[in-house]
Chains A and B, each alone.
Chain A
């Protein structure tokens, strides 16, 4: 429903004459986003986080797996600004590296989600008929699975399967998986469960768009299906997809935290925030600093993504234009 006037934003349809620089929908959105303080907080926080994650080796005062048996579960001090964990590792450094893990889990998983969800939703809606029927039945059935259960089973299966995978592609995936402490398994398990929502969303959008006159016009003049999808439909579904992805990232991050609580997250000594939180919960009464550091950071991050998502939605919503 919110896509109804979106095509007016595409510059080529705009009648000529006015020399003022035409503003694209994205520029409009950015202008509006900048005015939203909460969203800007989210945006800045996320950018800072990405920078921290990318430059983790430079920023972290210690390696994430530097064990120091002489300094176990110390409270914050000058040497260890956020204290140390049960193996004397620097909590700050682990949080910084954990940002890498948590962000890459969420971003990669989200990308995989989009890679599956967008085409499936689009094909389902655009072609309709029995293709749509079939796909929707599959989606319905998968939707009915308890997601946590599905993730656990997939994780347990993938963990074992990826460990021993052979062959050119599977072997490479397995190597990456082992090198990153089982991250690939986490990506895949989460993606395989969460693509459903995206595909439904995209299907809904496309169903609305494909009835529009300009699509009909394009079809009349013999534009190929592929071109219609890529040139006319895909760009118009981008905004809701971007919003969904922004909201999807925090749920992937917290799902990873849940997996860590069950011992199914990334493998030690690789840190993830989820794992640090579950260690923190175990030590909550003796060493509360462990939970406070990771818990606050996780909450702030989720908060930032949510603010950003809310802001994006408000900014991209054409009803807001006035």
Chain B
């Protein structure tokens, strides 16, 4: 297990390098460049000065190496191109924790509701409860999150005045309600679906039948046999979903004015803010890879059959 972990961790290095390389050339291949302002068409000379100041006039391979060397040796992604005076590091340090906290709250909501709905509808398979909870689950996937957030703002912030229209004050503030709920709908629905099918699958197994046959109460059948075994595939889904949720959602964050990293994912691309694109992409990739690793490790505890040499 220890050696397996070390090997997996070592594999992260070349993987990140590949992510870096693909991102670098992809973003430079995208038409347009930084510095455009919608208000005033910048003269060519101004753009050339800016390119020179930030080293964008150098050959691409040179930019590639110096960027890479800067990240590896100093952990320095450089300054943001669109936010003057802000380093990529500042941006990640300021905004990733916000998305992380919001995502964690959303994920807790999603896990609690998703697992409940999923188990409920598996146990009550093909009854009205199954249909209602699956309907809820599917609605969660089908309505785009920005529509949900917009409607919630109109209803709960403007009409009812229960919560402010947006902003961020930490996880204990009422402001988190709309973004957290909007963000949790999709993972909740996904989890509910996977839980349902996973539990259904397990319930049809012979060992469950045996357990029932020997007269074990249904409650214990579920708790001891079904749910635990059903958790294995769910762990995979939950791990990946978690990585997605904590890295923020552009749609939810921009509609609810949450200063999270998800907003930067998208606005850095539209601003061609190369260092920020790189910073956010690498951060995301690292989180996904680490989450994958964690899921694999968790398998060992959930499923005694799985062993890594």
A and B touch in the complex (CB under 8 A): yes
| Interface residue ranges, A against B (CB under 8 Å) | 1-2, 38, 137, 140-141, 143-146, 148-149, 152-154, 156-157, 160, 250-251, 254, 257-258, 261-262, 277, 281, 284-285, 291, 295, 298-299, 301-303, 306-307, 310, 313, 317, 319-320
> Chain B: which residue is nearest A319 at the CB level?
B204
| Interface residue ranges, B against A (CB under 8 Å) | 11, 14-15, 18-19, 22-23, 26-27, 29-32, 131, 134-135, 138-139, 141-144, 146-147, 150-151, 154, 193, 197, 201, 204, 247, 250-251, 265-266, 269-270, 277, 280-281, 284-286, 288-289, 292
Distance, CA A154 to CA B26, complexed state (A): 8
Distance, CA A154 to CA B64, complexed state (A): 20
Distance, CA A146 to CA B263, complexed state (A): 13
Q: Which of A140, A149, A257, A284 contacts B292 (CB 8 A)?
A: A140
Contact of B147 with A291 in the complex, beta carbons under 8 Å? yes
Contact of B141 with A146 in the complex, beta carbons under 8 Å? no
Contact of B29 with A145 in the complex, beta carbons under 8 Å? no
Contact of B31 with A141 in the complex, beta carbons under 8 Å? no
Contact of A257 with B144 in the complex, beta carbons under 8 Å? yes
Q: Which of B19, B27, B141, B251 contacts A144 (CB 8 A)?
A: B19
Q: Which residues of A contact B197 (CB under 8 A)?
A: 310, 313
Q: Which residues of A contact B269 (CB under 8 A)?
A: 149, 152-153, 156
Q: Which of B27, B131, B250 contacts A38 (CB 8 A)?
A: B131
Q: Which residues of B contact A141 (CB under 8 A)?
A: 15, 18-19, 22, 285
Q: Which residues of A contact B131 (CB under 8 A)?
A: 38
Q: Which of B135, B151, B265 contacts A149 (CB 8 A)?
A: B265
Q: How far in angstroms is the closest Cβ of chain B from A96? A: 20
Distance, CA A281 to CA B32, complexed state (A): 28
> Chain B: which residue is nearest A299 at the CB level?
B142
Residues A146 and B143 in contact in the complex (CB < 8 Å), given A157-B26, A157-B29? no
Q: List 12 A-B contacts (CB under 8 A).
A: A137-B14, A141-B19, A144-B286, A148-B250, A148-B266, A149-B281, A153-B26, A157-B31, A258-B251, A262-B250, A295-B143, A299-B139
Q: Which residues of B contact A2 (CB under 8 A)?
A: 201
Q: Which residues of A contact B280 (CB under 8 A)?
A: 146, 149
Q: A254-B141, A277-B144 are in contact. List 20 more A-B contacts (CB 8 A).
A: A2-B201, A141-B19, A144-B15, A144-B284, A145-B22, A145-B23, A152-B270, A157-B26, A160-B30, A254-B144, A258-B144, A258-B251, A302-B141, A302-B142, A306-B138, A306-B142, A310-B197, A313-B197, A317-B201, A320-B204
Q: How far in angstroms is the closest Cβ of chain B from A135? A: 14
Contact of A140 with B30 in the complex, beta carbons under 8 Å? no
Distance, CA A294 to CA B286, complexed state (A): 37
Contact of A284 with B139 in the complex, beta carbons under 8 Å? no
Contact of B143 with A284 in the complex, beta carbons under 8 Å? no
Distance, CA A132 to CA B27, complexed state (A): 29
Distance, CA A273 to CA B138, complexed state (A): 18
Contact of A302 with B150 in the complex, beta carbons under 8 Å? no
Q: How far in angstroms is the closest Cβ of chain B from A255? A: 10
Distance, CA A149 to CA B151, complexed state (A): 26
Q: Which of B30, B134, B141, B251 contacts A156 (CB 8 A)?
A: B30
Q: How far in angstroms is the closest Cβ of chain B from A106? A: 13
> Chain A: which residue is nearest B14 at the CB level?
A137
Distance, CA A317 to CA B27, complexed state (A): 44
> Chain A: which residue is nearest B131 at the CB level?
A38
Contact of B31 with A156 in the complex, beta carbons under 8 Å? yes
Q: Which 4 A-B pairs have the closest CB atoms?
A: A302-B142, A144-B285, A160-B31, A299-B142
Residues A137 and B15 in contact in the complex (CB < 8 Å), given A153-B26, A157-B30, A285-B154? yes
